[in-house]
C-alpha cells in the first residue's frame, strides 16, 4: 500500500478558490494532462462547462488508485514532567506507521507544558524519515505533542500548507492537525473572514485553526473555554474531520459527529508490562499508563509500546492531560442521521493490522473476499491477488470457494511515482513495471484474480496482459468492492465521474476492454454485510453506520456548499 501513483508531484494539487488564484498553475497542468482546453482566469470555463475554479481540478491528476487522506497523531506523558517517555520519538514512530495515509509532507509540534508562548515545531515536504533527522528531533523536546502526515485535499502540496498549523492567540499557542475535508468550507471561510480574521492559506485545516481562535460572541468569563469552542466549531462544521488540537499542557482529540474519519486511543505502558512482553491482549488493561496516544489508526501502537484502548466516538471531545484522559463533551448528529464511517477505510485506505469498530481491517477484507466468492463463483485452478491491498480478500475468496490461493505477481516496491514518466505509453508501462509475473505459478492456469478496487481501470489491464504473456489459460477478475461511481467530498481524492471507469462501462464491457475472461464486482449489500460480519459496535446504538457515497451517491452530510 506504500506506492501511490500520484501525479501531483512536488507542486502537487492546489486550489483556485473563491478568494485567490494560487491553484491556477497546477490546474492548467492538470487540464493539459486531461486533454482539456484551458482558458485564463479563475472563473474561466472549459468546453465541457467545467469551472477552472472547481476543487476537483485543484487536486491535480492521478494515474491510478485512490489517493489517501492524512494521518494525525498525538501523545502526552502522564505524571510529573519530564518523564522517561520520549514524546517526540513516540510521535515520529507513530507518523511512520501512518505514512501510508499521506506522503507529501509531515510535521510535529511539541510543548514542554510550561509556556503558553513557545511550541517546538518542525515540518517539511516528503517522507517522515527524511524530515525528522537527529537535529530536528533534538529541537522537538517536549512532554506532549501532535503530528501530521499529509495528502493534500484543499490547498497546494507546499510547505506553507504543511500541518500541524500553529497560531498564537490571546490565550497562548494553539496547534491543530486535521484529517478530512470540510464539506461546508466555503461558508465557514466567509464567516471567519467576515469576523475580521485574515487567512494565510486556502487550507481548510488552517480555517479550522482560526475558527477555534474566534472569541465567542457571548464572551467567556474565566478565560477561554476550549471544549465549548470546539463544540461550537463542530456545530458549524459537522464533517469531515478527525482533529488533534494542542494547547500548552493539553491535547484535545476530536472526531466529527458522523465519525467519518477514523481516530483511536492508545495507552503507553510501562516497559515491563506483560502486554508488551508477551502480547497477550487481555494483559495491560490494568497497567498504569505512562502516557496516552491518539492516532488515525492503531497499526503503530505496538511499535511505540502502546496498547489499543478504543475508538474516539463520533462527536466525542477527549481531553488528554498529564493526569490522564477524560471525555469532556459529545456533540450529537441530527436525530435522523446515522454514523457515516468511511467504508473505504476497510476496502483500501487503512493498514490491514488496524482495528476499527472492534475488528481488524484484515478480517473485514477477508470477509469481503468470502462474500465475493458467494456472489460471483467461477471455475478456476487458483485464486490470486493484485498485491498489496487485494491480498486479504483473495484469501477470503480462496477459503470460501475451496480453490487454492497462489501468488502470481511480484510487486516492485521501489517503482516511484509515475508522474516523472512523460508519455502515455511510458506511464502505462509504469503500471506494468510495478509488477512481475511469477510465471511458473501462472503457466496453463485458470486464475481468479482479486483486487480491492477499480478506479480508473489503468492497473488491471496491463496486469492481465502480463499474466497472459506468462501463459495464463484464463483470467477472471473479481473486485472486492462495488463499482466506484461518485466523487468523495470528505477528504479522498476520487477522480471526476468522467474519469471513473465504472461510469463508462458495465462489468461485461470492462471485461472486454481489459482483456479478462470475466469481471465481477462485490455488491454494495455484500460489502456492507461483510463489514458488519465481525463488527463489535451496534447499529442500534447509533454506531456502525457507514458512508458509501462514492458507491451509491448518497452523501451523509449533503454535497459541498462551494463550487466543485
Ligand atoms: O483502477 P486504477 O485507477 O488503476 O486503480 C486501482 C488500483 O489502485 C490501487 O492499488 P495501488 O497500487 O495504488 O496500491 P496497493 O499497493 O495498496 O494495492 C488499488 O488497490 C487497485 O489495485
Ligand atoms: N487528506 C486530508 O485529510 C487532508 C487534510 C486537509 N484537508 C489538507 O488538505 O491538508
Ligand atoms: S465517499 Fe467513499 S471515500 Fe469518501 S468518505 Fe464516503 S466511503 Fe469514504
Ligand atoms: Mg492495488
Q: Identify whether the C-beta of residue 152 lies closer than 8 Å to the C-beta of residue 99.
A: no
Tell whether the model's pLDDT for residue 283 goes beyond 70.
no
Q: How confident is the model at residue 546 (pLDDT cuts 50, 70, 90)?
A: very high
Q: What is the dihedral of CA 23, 559, 507, 406, to 10 degrees?
A: 70
Q: What are the CA-CA distances from residue 4 to residues 10, 67, 136, 408, 416 (Å)?
A: 14, 7, 27, 21, 8
pLDDT at site 347 = 96
- Is 342 a pocket residue for ligand 3 (Cβ < 6 Å)? yes
Please give the number of the atom of ligand 2 that sits closest to the Cα of 163.
10
pLDDT at site 348 = 93
pLDDT digits (tens, 9 = 90+) for 249-280: 999 999 999 999 999 999 999 987 877 776 65
pLDDT at site 560 = 73
264 is in an annotated binding site: no
Task: Respond yes or no: is residue 280 known to be catalytic.
Answer: no
Of the residues 70, 162, 264, 368, only one is catalytic, namely: 70
Distance CA(346)–CA(363), nearest Å, equals: 9
The Å distance, Cα 25 to ligand 2 centre, comes to 20
Tell whether the model's pLDDT for residue 175 goes beyond 90.
yes
The CATH class that applies to domain 89-283+324-338 reads alpha beta
pLDDT at site 537 = 81
Helices and strands in the chain, H and E counts: 18, 23
- Is 548 a pocket residue for ligand 3 (Cβ < 6 Å)? yes
Nearest to 331 by CA among 312, 347, 359: 312
- Could you please report the per-residue DSSP string of 275-338? HHHH--TTTTSSSPPSEEEEES-STTTGGGTEEEEEEPPTTEEEEEETTEEEEEEEPPPPTT--
- Is 344 a pocket residue for ligand 3 (Cβ < 6 Å)? yes
Higher-scoring residue by pLDDT: 25, 104: 104
Query: Residue 161 in 3-state DSSP?
Result: helix
Distance CA(113)–CA(71), nearest Å, equals: 24
- Could you please report the per-residue DSSP string of 419-456? GG--SHHHHHHHHHHTEEE-HHHHTT-EEEEEES--SS
Residue 41: is the preceding peptide bond cis (ω within 30°)? no
Give me the architecture of the 354-527 domain, per CATH. Answer: 3-Layer(aba) Sandwich (3.40)
Q: How confident is the model at residue 562 (pLDDT cuts 50, 70, 90)?
A: low
Q: How much is the average pLDDT of 448-467?
A: 94
The Å distance, Cα 498 to ligand 1 centre, comes to 18
Pocket residues for ligand 2 (CB within 6 Å)? 69-70, 150-155, 163, 178-181, 203-205, 491
Q: How much is the average pLDDT of 1-29?
A: 31
Q: How confident is the model at residue 9 (pLDDT cuts 50, 70, 90)?
A: very low
Please give the number of the atom of ligand 2 that sits closest to the Cα of 151.
1
Please give the number of the atom of ligand 1 that sits closest to the Cα of 62.
3
469 is in an annotated binding site: no
Tell whether the model's pLDDT for residue 81 goes beyond 50.
yes
Q: List the beta bridge partners of residue 477.
A: 449, 519
Tell whether the model's pLDDT for residue 4 goes beyond 60.
no
Residue 45 contacts by C-beta under 8 Å, 6 or more apart in sequence? 39, 51, 52
Pairing of strands 264-268, 241-246: unpaired
Higher-scoring residue by pLDDT: 98, 26: 98
Residue 151: is the preceding peptide bond cis (ω within 30°)? no
The Å distance, Cα 544 to ligand 4 centre, comes to 26
Sequence ranges of the domains in the chain = 1-67, 89-283+324-338, 354-527
Q: Identify whether the C-beta of residue 54 lies closer than 8 Å to the C-beta of residue 564.
A: yes
Contacts from 330-334 at CB under 8 Å and sequence distance 24+? 331/231, 331/234, 331/235, 331/257, 332/257, 333/238, 333/257, 333/258, 333/542
The Å distance, Cα 551 to ligand 4 centre, comes to 18
Distance CA(515)–CA(374), nearest Å, equals: 24
- Is 451 a pocket residue for ligand 1 (Cβ < 6 Å)? yes
- Is 456 a pocket residue for ligand 1 (Cβ < 6 Å)? yes
pLDDT at site 518 = 98
Higher-scoring residue by pLDDT: 40, 148: 148
Amino acid at each position: 500500500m506504500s506506492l501511490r501513483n500520484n501525479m501531483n508531484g512536488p507542486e502537487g494539487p492546489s486550489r483556485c478558490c473563491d478568494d485567490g488564484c494560487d491553484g491556477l498553475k497546477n490546474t492548467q497542468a492538470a487540464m493539459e494532462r486531461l486533454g482539456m482546453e484551458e482558458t485564463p482566469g479563475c472563473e474561466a470555463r472549459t468546453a465541457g462547462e467545467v469551472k477552472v475554479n472547481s476543487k476537483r481540478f485543484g487536486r491535480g491528476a492521478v494515474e491510478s488508485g485512490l489517493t489517501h487522506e492524512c494521518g494525525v497523531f498525538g501523545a502526552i506523558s502522564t505524571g510529573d514532567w519530564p518523564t522517561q517517555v520520549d514524546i517526540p520519538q513516540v510521535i515520529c514512530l507513530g507518523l511512520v506507521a501512518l505514512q501510508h495515509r499521506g506522503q507529501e509532507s509531515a510535521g510535529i509540534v511539541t510543548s514542554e507544558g510550561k509556556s503558553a508562548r513557545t511550541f517546538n515545531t518542525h515540518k517539511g515536504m516528503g517522507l517522515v524519515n527524511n524530515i525528522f533527522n537527529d537535529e530536528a528531533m533534538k529541537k522537538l523536546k517536549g512532554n506532549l505533542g501532535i503530528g501530521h502526515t499529509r495528502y493534500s485535499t484543499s490547498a497546494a502540496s507546499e510547505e506553507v500548507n504543511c500541518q500541524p498549523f500553529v497560531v498564537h492567540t490571546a490565550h497562548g499557542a494553539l496547534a491543530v492537525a486535521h484529517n478530512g475535508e470540510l464539506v461546508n468550507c466555503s461558508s465557514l471561510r466567509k464567516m471567519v473572514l467576515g469576523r475580521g480574521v485574515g487567512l494565510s492559506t486556502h487550507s481548510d485545516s488552517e480555517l479550522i485553526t482560526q475558527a477555534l481562535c474566534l472569541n465567542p460572541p457571548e464572551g467567556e468569563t474565566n478565560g477561554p473555554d476550549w471544549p465549548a469552542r470546539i463544540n461550537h466549531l463542530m456545530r458549524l462544521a459537522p464533517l469531515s474531520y478527525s482533529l488533534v488540537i494542542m494547547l500548552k499542557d493539553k491535547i484535545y482529540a476530536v472526531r466529527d459527529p458522523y465519525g467519518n474519519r477514523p481516530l483511536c486511543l492508545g495507552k503507553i505502558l510501562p516497559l515491563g508490562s506483560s502486554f508488551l512482553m508477551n502480547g497477550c491482549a487481555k494483559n495491560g488493561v490494568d497497567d498504569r499508563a505512562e502516557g496516552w496516544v491518539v492516532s488515525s489508526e492503531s497499526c503503530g501502537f505496538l511499535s511505540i509500546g502502546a496498547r489499543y484502548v478504543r475508538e474516539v466516538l463520533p462527536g466525542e471531545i477527549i481531553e488528554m492531560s498529564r493526569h490522564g484522559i477524560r471525555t469532556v463533551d459529545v456533540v450529537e448528529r441530527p436525530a435522523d442521521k446515522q454514523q457515516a464511517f468511511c467504508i473505504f477505510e476497510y476496502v483500501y485506505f487503512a493498514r490491514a493490522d488496524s482495528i476499527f469498530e472492534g475488528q481488524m481491517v484484515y478480517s473485514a477484507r477477508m470477509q469481503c473476499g468470502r462474500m465475493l466468492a458467494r456472489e460471483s463463483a467461477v471455475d478456476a485452478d487458483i485464486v490470486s491477488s493484485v498485491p498489496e491491498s487485494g491480498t486479504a480478500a483473495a484469501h477470503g475468496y480462496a477459503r470460501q470457494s475451496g480453490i487454492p490461493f497462489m501468488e502470481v505477481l511480484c510487486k516492485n516496491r521501489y517503482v516511484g511515482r509515475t508522474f516523472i514518466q512523460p508519455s502515455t505509453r511510458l506511464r502505462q508501462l509504469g503500471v506494468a513495471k510495478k509488477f512481475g509475473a511469477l510465471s511458473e505459478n501462472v503457466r496453463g492456469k485458470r486464475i481468479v484474480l482479486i483486487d480491492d478496487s477499480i478506479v480508473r481501470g489503468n492497473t488491471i489491464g496491463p496486469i492481465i496482459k502480463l499474466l497472459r504473456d506468462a501463459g495464463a489459460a484464463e483470467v477472471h477478475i473479481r473486485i472486492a468492492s462495488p463499482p466506484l461511481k461518485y466523487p468523495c467530498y470528505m477528504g479522498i481524492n476520487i477522480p471526476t465521474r468522467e474519469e471513473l471507469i465504472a461510469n463508462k462501462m458495465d462489468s461485461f464491457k470492462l471485461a472486454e476492454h481489459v482483456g479478462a475472461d470475466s469481471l465481477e464486482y462485490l455488491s454494495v449489500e455484500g460489502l456492507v454485510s461483510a463489514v458488519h460480519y465481525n463488527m463489535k459496535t451496534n447499529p442500534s446504538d447509533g454506531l456502525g453506520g457507514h458512508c458509501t457515497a462514492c458507491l451509491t451517491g448518497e452523501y451523509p452530510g449533503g454535497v459541498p456548499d462551494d463550487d466543485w
